[in-house]
Amino acid sequence: MRPKDKIAYFYDGDVGSVYFGPNHPMKPHRLCMTHHLVLAYDLHKKMEIYRPHKAYPVELAQFHSADYVEFLHRITPDTQHLFSNELARYNLGEDCPVFENLFEFCQIYAGGTIDAARRLNNQLCDIAINWAGGLHHAKKCEASGFCYINDLVLGILELLKYHARVLYIDIDVHHGDGVEEAFYFTDRVMTVSFHKYGDMFFPGTGDVKDIGEREGKFYAINVPLKDGIDDTSFTRLFKTIISKVVEMYQPGAIVLQCGADSLAGDRLGCFNLSIDGHAECVRIVKKFNLPLLVTGGGGYTKENVARCWTVETGVLLDTELPNEIPENEYIKYFAPECLLNIPNGHIENLNSKSYISTIKMQVLENLRCIQHAPGVQMQEVPPDFFIPDFDEDEQNPDERMDRK
């Protein structure tokens, strides 16, 4: 029997205290709720818990343009009125507002995903979890869809130092456009996104016909779905496609974005997935026994996000959780029933059997076009980031450089 997986979990309480503003659907507070639920179920006792380092600007600039990173670093709510041209250029505004501690928020969630990738690379764990990460819409030079820094791309770039091929899987209700775009021309990363497509649904990309270009042709896979997909059709389709992808592509590591806006009852979503259905995807991916980096993503009914990611933490730990939610700081959010399971959605399922079958056939057909597992000449491994020089006098002595 395989030894039990070693799991690293990254969390910084500061990430849950930022505020996007009134009426904005993104509530980072959901991360505090998730963490407290994980604690209430005693799951922390089965994992190694780390506080991530705050990613340096030079680390963020491994993907993002230096000018964009610099602007995010400088801009504050008080000064933004002076920079209307730049705000427009970098797509900051209504969806992606400038708020207090924005840059530090980005540094923490990106640092978590980078640290997760490094621990996997150094074989210090088998699975690494960063529920604060998964901000898949951010582009090289601009913010998009509530995302400013694309931590997933940064984590994948880190994994590519040690792995010839990395598989990215996205089960957020929105297309993983930022990650797909970053790796659209390479066969070193295969991106697979299951998402709602059509009816002008954000971000409007992710057609089954978008398959990558040049060296990346056939290495982007899109599974466009309609409103109301349920557990049975989603998990069956997921298992069929992902099993074939792993067999054909033979990745050295997997990154799984677990956006919880694909759950029934999400404020912005339109699927009918139960938490069990969503978590089944995590279970399927875990069974491949490959180094696995798991992140959060979207999710706008925050008590359900916390339920979902707690259950999925349990799945990764092979731990069944009792349905009755234990006493915790946020118990009132789960009232009156205080149960983990959520009711099934009631949106009509517009995904006919023939539609699903057609999509499946198209995806499997495209997969047949890839040469079995592309090889890559691995060069000498670039180092993990050298910590840039800093003046010790400027450092706050309370912020030690260690991880915990």
Active site residues: 137
The verdict on whether residue 261 carries a ligand-binding annotation is yes
Q: Classify strands 127-130 and 292-295 as parallel, antiparallel or unpaired.
A: parallel
Contact 106, 149 (CB under 8 A): yes
Q: How many helices (H) and strands (E) does the chain have?
A: 11, 8
Closest CA to 143 of 82, 97, 181, 199: 97
Determine the residue type at 199: D
Task: Compute CA 171 distance to the chain's CA centroid, rounded to the nearest angstrom.
Answer: 9
Question: Is 126 annotated as a binding-site member?
Answer: no
CA torsion sign for 324, 17, 50, 154 is positive
Please check whether residue 403 is in contact with residue 73, taking contact to mean a CB–CB distance below 8 angstroms.
Answer: no
- Per-residue tokens: 217: 């042709």
Give the full edge-to-edge strand order of the sheet including 7-10.
48-50, 7-10, 127-130, 292-295, 253-257, 166-170, 189-196, 220-225
* Ligand-binding site membership of 95 (annotated): yes
Does 174 count as an annotated binding residue?
A: yes
Task: Give the start-end residues of each E strand in 19-144.
Answer: 48-50, 127-130
Both tokens of 236, joined, read 């069956």
- The residue among 118, 76, 124 whose CA lies nearest residue 98 is 76
139 and 98 Cβ atoms separated by less than 8 Å: no
What whole-number distance in Å separates Cα of residue 334 and Cα of residue 211?
Answer: 41
Between helix 231-249 and helix 275-286 the angle, nearest 10°, is: 20
Query: Which residues are known binding-site members?
Result: 95, 145, 172, 174, 261, 300
Query: Which residues are known binding-site members for substrate?
Result: 95, 145, 300
